[in-house]
């Protein structure tokens, strides 16, 4: 089996997890910028983190022959301090130019506040002006429905945004159509306790089709499973899905979306 892990916060995982990913057939791992579990106190704290995402983590992955790509942004959980957010937004473009950075992400909303929305709109402007790919985080639990609606509106309000270059992640049964019907890609995050189980993700694949959709583990420092995507593949096999369908969902789809960035290249053996 081959697959691409399109969303994993590897900075918070042990090196053992790289070995597990590669053993399971992972051919590339992609890491959006996220919240560290605490609010960073200065723009230099963000600069260090972006260096980790663009220099140090790719080197750690390379020890296992695993291509590592990143997305850069200020996470919505740190958007309430508008003054700091403004300073951080100013350094983002220099990191978007790094060779392993695929675009702006994971931007979005967390508690659906006015400041979060303002910072989201600024991120969208940066991405749209540079024609960058966008990876969107949708809020948790009771905030997801409202947040997804606000995010879709914010994206569509920017005439430069091309939906086929945007993936709206963490969709569930009540938000998947909202995003997909507007032409965006959608991601389903497989978590043991929240978001989506492998069985529910496969249900959504069966109901809403295998196009413009991917699955990811979004493993981080919380309760999460770096092998969630291979486990969803097991669920697909149990239900009798053909190998070419499975390959499309877990390899070809993320490949198709991220290949819109000329920086995303896998070795010829994977093509």
Partner 1 sequence: MESEMKKSMVAKEASGMGKKEQGIMEDVNLVNLGFMDARIKAIDIAAFLDRVQRAGQEGDYRVVELRKALACLLEGEHGRAERVLLSLSDPTLEPIPAAPGKGAAGAWLNPGN
Residue 139 in contact with partner 1, rule: CB under 8 A = yes
**Least Å from the CB of residue 186 to partner 1:** 15
CB-CB contact of 38 with 49 (8 Å): no
**Least Å from the CB of residue 58 to partner 1:** 28
- Could you write out the DSSP letters of every residue in 42-106? SHHHHHHHHHIIIIIHHHHHHTTT--EEEEE---GGG-S-HHHHHHHHHHHHHHHTSTTEEEEEE
Q: Which of 57, 116, 132, 220 binds partner 1 (CB under 8 A)?
A: 116
Residue 146 in contact with partner 1, rule: CB under 8 A = yes
- Tokens standing for 140? 């948790």
Q: Which of 98, 200, 231, 265 binds partner 1 (CB under 8 A)?
A: 200
To the nearest 10°, report the CA torsion of 26, 33, 166, 122. Answer: -170
- Tokens standing for 212? 């413009």
Residue 211 in contact with partner 1, rule: CB under 8 A = no
CA atoms 241, 245, 249, 250: torsion sign: positive
Q: Which of 1, 22, 43, 145 binds partner 1 (CB under 8 A)?
A: 145
CB-CB contact of 10 with 18 (8 Å): yes
Q: Which residue, 58 or 147, has its beta carbon nearer to partner 1? A: 147
Q: Which residue, 156 or 266, has its beta carbon nearer to partner 1? A: 156
**Least Å from the CB of residue 83 to partner 1:** 14
**Least Å from the CB of residue 114 to partner 1:** 5
The DSSP code for 35 is: -
Is the preceding omega at residue 160 within 30 degrees of 0, hence cis? Answer: no
Under rule CB under 8 A, which residues in 33-92 are in contact with partner 1? 35, 77, 80
Under rule CB under 8 A, which residues in 117-136 are in contact with partner 1? 117
Using CB under 8 A, list all residues that contact partner 1: 35, 77, 80, 110-117, 139-146, 149-150, 172-174, 177-178, 199-200, 203, 205-207, 210, 238-242, 245
């Amino acid at each position: 089996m081959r697959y691409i892990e399109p969303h994993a916060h590897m900075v918070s995982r042990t090196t053992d997890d790289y070995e597990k990913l590669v053993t399971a057939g992972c051919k590339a791992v992609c890491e959006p910028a996220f919240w560290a579990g605490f609010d960073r106190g200065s723009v230099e704290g963000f600069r260090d983190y972006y260096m980790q995402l663009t220099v140090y983590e790719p080197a750690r992955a390379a020890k296992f022959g695993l291509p590592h790509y990143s997305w850069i942004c200020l996470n919505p959980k740190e958007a309430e301090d508008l003054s700091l957010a403004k300073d951080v937004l100013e350094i983002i473009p220099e990191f978007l130019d790094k060779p392993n950075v695929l675009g702006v992400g994971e931007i979005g909303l967390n508690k659906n506040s006015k400041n979060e929305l303002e910072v989201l709109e600024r991120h969208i402007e940066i991405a749209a002006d540079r024609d960058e790919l966008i990876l969107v985080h949708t809020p948790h639990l009771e905030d997801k429905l409202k947040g997804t609606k606000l995010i879709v509106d914010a994206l569509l309000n920017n005439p430069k945004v091309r939906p086929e270059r945007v993936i709206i992640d963490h969709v569930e049964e009540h938000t998947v159509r909202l995003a997909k019907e507007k032409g965006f890609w959608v991601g389903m995050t497989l978590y043991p306790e929240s978001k989506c189980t492998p069985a529910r993700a496969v249900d959504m694949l069966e109901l809403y089709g295998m196009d413009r959709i991917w699955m990811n583990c979004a493993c981080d420092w919380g309760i999460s499973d770096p092998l969630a995507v291979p486990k969803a593949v097991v669920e697909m096999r149990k239900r009798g899905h053909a190998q070419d369908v499975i390959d499309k969902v877990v390899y070809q789809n993320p490949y198709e979306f991220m290949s819109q960035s000329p920086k995303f290249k896998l070795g010829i053996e994977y093509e």
